[in-house]
Amino acid sequence: MGSLLSYGGLEAWFKIPEWWLWFHLVATLVGYFGTVFFRKLFLWLLVGSFILGLFLSPAMGASAVTGIEVFFIDVSTVLIGFVFGLAFYSPLKEKFY
């Protein structure tokens, strides 16, 4: 039985090592928590983590997901868009240091 994050879908370009996915998960969570405290460095970590995940997703191949997984993926996408909108395009951006 594999780990939750060991993933390589059907016809994946390459099999991503598990440590890389754990690193991406930790970087994303650290970015979220740092952004809550209005730290600009962590905001950029979150942006970089999001872009990295965006570029890695086609390389992971096809996968079948359940409805609940799609729900959480969609909620995550909306939340990250909301955070980016507030952090870069609202008066709240002045609070980041």
Instruction: Over range 5-22, report the average pLDDT.
Output: 65
Q: Show me where the domains of the chain are located.
A: 18-95
Per-residue pLDDT tens digits for 45-96: 989 998 888 887 777 767 777 889 889 889 988 988 998 998 899 898 888 8
Looking at the predicted structure, is the pLDDT value of residue 34 above 70?
Answer: yes
Terminal alpha carbon distance of the chain: 44
- Distance between CA atoms of 43 and 27, rounded to whole angstroms? 11
Token look-up 């909306």 returns: 78
- Distance between CA atoms of 67 and 79, rounded to whole angstroms? 18
Looking at the predicted structure, is the pLDDT value of residue 3 above 50?
Answer: no
Question: Given pLDDT bands bounded at 50, 70 and 90, which one contains residue 30?
Answer: very high
- pTM of this structure: 0.70
Q: What is the pLDDT of residue 13?
A: 62
